[in-house]
Amino acid sequence: MTLFLLVLLAALVFEYINGFHDTANAIATVVSTKVLTARQAIMMAAFFNLIGAFAGTAVAKTISGGLVETGAVTMLTVLCALLGAIVWNLITWWLGLPSSSSHALIGGLCGAALATASGNWGVLIWSATDKKGSAVGLWPKVVLPMFSSPMIGFIGGALLMWLLTIVLRKTTPRVVNLIFGKAQLGSAAFMAYGHGKNDAQKTMGIITLALSTATAAKVFDGLPPWTAFLRVEGFKDIPYWVVFVCAVTMAAGTAAGGYRIIRTMGHKMVKLQPVHGFAAETTAALIIDGASMIGVPVSTTHVISTSIMGVGATKRLGAVKWGVVERILWAWVLTMPVTGLLGYGLVLLLRNFGL
């Protein structure tokens, strides 16, 4: 029971960090264009993150039962997956790099599951179909979207900005800024909603995985009847209390802000005006919302970052500060391998302490 409580605590810490680490996903552009102050934008993002977190559980079900063989998962596996993701998120937050919390968690889970299974790669579900005939596994749900969603974000952002440029070519800059200064409030809110809808579900999934593992291991046997809400058989439904706790925790983390990453995405990568912010946010939010509906734990960080790059590239390629982009790309490339190694190593380390 003690180990389960540690897992629950680590999951909530991860969700809180995810909130302030990824605040920039929703509001970097609306801050950099001076449509809202940082504090106003953070409060708005916290509210719409909360609303989005209640909007579905498809992604949570993917995390809880579609990436690794559940028979190879123990409470220690889940704890080490979370710890690996937390460490990487704190490192990238400190460096101001917008890395993916989603891929950090998935990498940690894969590495920890491998260590639990003594290096048996068969515990990783590469590609399969569920009872409904839908594709599940790391390839269709993680790896393919990891490459396709940033490409779609870059191209989509560039196309939308190109269309807006044609439509607005006879409109004065003052009128354009006035229109899109207001419109960007809606696009930023949509982006925050999409972030809550996709990212909050990842922790819902990991907590449900922990509950199911603990139930199968009879951890809750002997507890009073009122604790029945802890028992989860399989992964058909995400308990509502898990949805509520994760939604509130992410909103609280978002309210704490993430100014380091806001500066990187909103100021250092490319100089934006309200129309550019609107195009980037709208593109990213549509992609993320679509992914959430089909249960794909897409990286909101990757999508909004490449949407900003695509929008910036329509001004001219030199408008994007590619040196900053290179640092961001390295963080993306390293996230899953590093967290996988962290998850693997933590399992081996904590086993020596009798966990």
List the chain domain ranges.
2-346
Burial class (CB in 10 A: 0-12, 13-18, 19+), 274: buried
Residue 56 contacts residue 199 (beta carbons within 8 Å): no
Rounded Cα distance, 296 and 208, in Å: 17
Q: What is this structure's pTM?
A: 0.86
Residue 34 contacts residue 184 (beta carbons within 8 Å): no
Rounded Cα distance, 243 and 289, in Å: 18
124 Cα distance to chain centroid: 21
Rounded Cα distance, 92 and 100, in Å: 9
Residues 6+ apart with CB under 8 A from 163: none
Q: List 124's β-bridge partners, or say none.
A: 68
269: closest CA among 310, 297, 238? Answer: 310
SS3 24: helix
Q: Which helix (H) or strand (E) holds 135?
A: strand 135-136
SS3 128: strand
CA angle 195–70–76, rounded 5-degree value = 85
Per-residue pLDDT of the chain (355 residues; tens, 9 = 90+): 889 999 999 999 999 988 877 666 667 777 777 788 878 888 888 899 899 989 888 888 888 877 998 888 999 999 999 999 999 988 887 877 767 888 899 999 999 999 999 999 999 999 888 777 778 889 998 889 888 988 899 999 999 999 999 999 889 989 998 999 889 889 989 988 998 898 888 899 999 989 998 998 888 988 888 888 888 876 677 899 999 999 999 888 888 765 555 655 544 555 678 898 899 999 999 999 999 998 888 888 788 888 888 888 887 766 566 665 676 677 778 899 999 999 999 999 999 887 7
pLDDT at 246 (0 to 100): 92
pLDDT at 298 (0 to 100): 86
| Phi and psi, residue 169, nearest 5° | -60, -25
Q: Which helix (H) or strand (E) holds 129?
A: strand 128-129
Rounded Cα distance, 18 and 115, in Å: 25
Rounded Cα distance, 212 and 273, in Å: 48
Residue 160 contacts residue 281 (beta carbons within 8 Å): no
Burial class (CB in 10 A: 0-12, 13-18, 19+), 149: buried
DSSP letter for 141, please: I
